[in-house]
Amino acid sequence: MYGPVLLVIAHGSRDPRHAATVHALVRRVRSLRPGLRVETAFLDFNAPAVPRVLERLAFEGVGEVVALPLLLTRAFHAKADIPAVLAQAPPQLDIRLADVLGPSPLLLSTVERRLQEALYEAGLTPADKRSTGVVLASAGSTDPEAIAVIADVARELRHTGWCAVRPAFASAALPRTEDAVRELRASGVRRVAVAPYVIAPGFLPDRIALGAHDADVLADVLGAAPELARLLLVRYEEASARAAGPAALTA
C-alpha cells in the first residue's frame, strides 16, 4: 500500500442498482491502481455511512485520507453535506477533500462512449452523429453554478460532432428531458439521442428515461466506464499533491 487512502463518497439511493454501480466503479479504480487502498462510503440510504468508515480507518491507524465526492458538479452535497460530515472525523485523520469530478474531458469522453454504444445498439454508426441531436440530461440542481456547468458541458459535447445538443434536468431546473427532446424534433434534426449525465441508476435517472420515451436513442448512465475510473484517480492525485491540514476540507 502507498499514499493516502482514497475514500470515495457516493450519495446513496434506495435503488440497489445505485450501490452496485458505485462498487463496480470502485473495483475498476482498484484494478487501475493495485497498490492503492480504496474505500467506499455513502451519505444516505446505503451502508457503510461516511462516519463509520472514517472511524474504522482511524481505529486501524490510517493517517492520511483523500475524500473524493462522487459528484459531477459542485452543488449542495459538495459544498455543505460532505464538508460537514468530514469535519466530524476523528482528529487523528489527516483528510484532504478532492474536487468533484466535473467538468473534465474524461467525463466528456465517458458521455461519448455511452452515446456511441447506444448508436451501435440502434443499428447506427459513428457517422450518424452528424444528423443526431443530443439531450444531455442531468439530475438537476437549484445551484446556479451547477446549472452553468451542465450548459458548458452541453456546448463542449456539441463541438464533438453532434448536430445539436441541449441540456435538460430531471428536477429542480428546466427544461425537462421530454421538453428538450421536443425542442430538438421541432428544430428538424433527423433523430434524437438522450445521454443521461448521471453516474448511477436511481430515481432521477429513471425519470430521465421516462422523459426520453419519444427519443430514438437512450444511452446508459456513465457507470463504471474506464474513463470515469481514470478520472477518480486524477482527482485523487490532485488532492494528494495539495498541502493537507484544516484548509483541505474547503477544497
Task: Determine if residue 81 is left, alpha or beta; phi over 0 gives left, psi from -120 to 50 gives alpha, anything else beta.
Answer: alpha
pLDDT digits (tens, 9 = 90+) for 192-209: 999 999 999 999 999 999
- The three-point CA angle 115-34-55 to 5° equals 100
Beta strands 38-42 and 94-97, pairing class: unpaired
Portion of the chain with pLDDT greater than 70, in percent: 96
**Could you tell me the CA-to-CA distances from 67 to 14, 34, 171 in Å, in that order?**
23, 18, 27
User: Closest by alpha carbon to 68, among 241, 246, 243, 239?
Assistant: 239
Instruction: For residue 242, give every residue at least 6 positions away whose Cβ sits within 8 Å of its Cβ, in sequence order, or none.
Output: 96, 248, 251
Distance between CA atoms of residues 240 and 136, nearest Å? 32
Cβ 81 vs Cβ 67: under 8 Å? no
Model pLDDT for residues 135-168, shown as the tens digit of each residue: 999 999 999 999 999 999 999 999 999 999 999 9
Looking at residue 2, what is its pLDDT? 73
Using alpha carbons, list the distances in angstroms from residue 105 to 88, 108, 156.
Answer: 33, 5, 9
Split at pLDDT 50, 70, 90, the class of 242 is confident
CB 236 within 8 A of CB 6: yes
